[in-house]
């Protein structure tokens, strides 16, 4: 037999449904954490340490490039590394349009040109035109209204090539802490969509730099082919930059560089302490007692340290000091 509810129980149930129920609580959904997808069929070619090394290289490049652009554009320009990522070439090429322009550069390791694919430098058309305008004496304005598919004029391409020849080689010097490497401008590609510079699935590393100027901001993207980077990293591994070179191997070379340097030697007869009142009342003819006999040795100091002791005398009617002893020990030199 089914249980019959009393009137009070019915009222309690109705009140519970109207208020949402005594146990009902609104639970806020936690934001879903996003993870970057990893393609196991196409594993990463460069480790995090290699990418971190590239970060240091491009940090050096931004500092040098920043100074160079400030001089060329006569404007305060700040450049910073926004991202360095390993990608496939098609991710870089698909973002290009027919009106874009690429500056290509060739890498040489230890003065041996690499026969691999070139490095690619890309700046948006508005950023390039702003730089050209500044170089020609224009105003600080990064917000240039351009028609769709704007193409460079012949004069603009000439200035663009001149700018590329100036800033691209600076990247080679950024590697000096790791390997002797140079980056030289080779040519300008006017319509990169018609030229297959790399295979669409080839590994590349893309470095995005942000250019901040008074009139706005722009971006510089540098595409480094994986084959070129592999050759560079192989050369770095062969050189083993962590290996220390003993000082004896360079001692003769260092000494030859320092041989003709001027060196100040101070002969100290003695020292004493005077109050400020005594110094104020000093007059011509006053005698200062150094607290040492006239036959006491003279200290010869170099760089604030005592290196020799000697005796005062004359040489060709000039005052001179004859060296008696060399202070070989550090304790002697600091006395």
Which residues, 6+ apart, have CB-to-CB distance to 83 below 8 Å?
206, 207, 208
Is the predicted pLDDT of residue 143 greater than 70, yes or no?
Answer: no
Q: Identify the pLDDT of residue 244.
A: 43
The CA distance from 123 to 63, in Å, is 18
Beta carbons within 10 angstroms of residue 209's beta carbon: 21
- Residue 215 contacts residue 130 (beta carbons within 8 Å): yes
Q: Whose CA is closest to 65, among 117, 111, 123, 113?
A: 123
The CA distance from 304 to 316, in Å, is 28
Q: Please report which helix (H) or strand (E) contains residue 330, including its range.
A: helix 330-333
Q: Which residue has the tokens 């005052």?
A: 319
Per residue in 66-119, pLDDT (tens digit) is: 888 888 877 788 888 988 988 888 888 888 888 888 989 998 887 677 666 789
Per residue in 195-211, pLDDT (tens digit) is: 778 888 888 999 999 88
Structural tokens at position 242: 């962590």
The CA distance from 329 to 334, in Å, is 9
Q: Identify the pLDDT of residue 182.
A: 87
Strands 298-302 and 305-315: antiparallel
Give percent of the chain with pLDDT exceeding 90. Answer: 4
Beta carbons within 10 angstroms of residue 272's beta carbon: 9
Beta carbons within 10 angstroms of residue 50's beta carbon: 18
Structural tokens at position 232: 């560079």
Structural domains of the chain ordered from first start: 48-239 (3.40.1550.10), 262-333 (2.30.330.10)
- Residue 208 contacts residue 137 (beta carbons within 8 Å): no
Which of 110-124, 239-253, 287-301 shows the lowest mean pLDDT across its residues? Answer: 239-253
The CA distance from 285 to 147, in Å, is 89
């Amino acid at each position: 037999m089914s249980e019959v509810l009393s009137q009070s129980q019915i009222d309690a149930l109705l009140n519970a449904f109207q208020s949402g129920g005594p146990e009902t609580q609104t639970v806020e959904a936690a934001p879903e954490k996003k993870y970057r997808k990893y393609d196991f069929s196409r594993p990463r070619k460069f480790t995090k340490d290699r990418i971190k090394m590239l970060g240091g290289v491009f940090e050096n490049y931004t500092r040098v490039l920043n100074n160079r652009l400030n001089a060329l554009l006569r404007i305060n320009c700040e450049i910073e590394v926004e991202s360095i990522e390993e990608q496939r070439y098609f991710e870089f090429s698909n973002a290009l349009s027919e009106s874009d322009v690429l500056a290509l550069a060739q890498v040489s390791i230890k003065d041996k040109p690499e026969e691999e694919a070139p490095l690619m430098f890309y700046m948006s058309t508005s950023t390039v035109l702003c730089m050209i305008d500044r170089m020609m004496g224009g105003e600080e304005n990064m917000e240039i209204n351009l028609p769709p598919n704007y193409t460079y004029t012949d004069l603009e391409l000439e200035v663009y090539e001149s700018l590329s020849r100036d800033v691209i080689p600076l990247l080679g010097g950024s590697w000096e802490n790791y390997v002797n490497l140079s980056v030289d401008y080779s040519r300008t590609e006017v319509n990169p969509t018609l030229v297959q510079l790399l295979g669409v699935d080839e590994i590349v590393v893309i470095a995005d730099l942000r250019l901040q100027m008074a009139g706005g901001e722009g971006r510089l993207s540098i595409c480094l082919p994986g084959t070129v980077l592999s050759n560079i990293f192989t050369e770095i591994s062969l050189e083993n930059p962590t290996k220390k070179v003993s000082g004896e191997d360079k001692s003769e070379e260092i000494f030859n560089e320092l041989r003709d340097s001027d060196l100040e030697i101070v002969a100290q007869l003695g020292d004493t302490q005077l109050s400020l009142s005594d110094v104020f009342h000093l007059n011509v003819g006053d005698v200062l007692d150094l607290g040492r006999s006239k036959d006491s040795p003279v200290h010869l100091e170099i760089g604030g340290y005592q290196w020799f002791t000697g005796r005062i005398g004359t040489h060709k009617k000039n005052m001179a000091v004859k060296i008696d002893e060399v202070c070989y020990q550090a304790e002697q030199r600091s006395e």
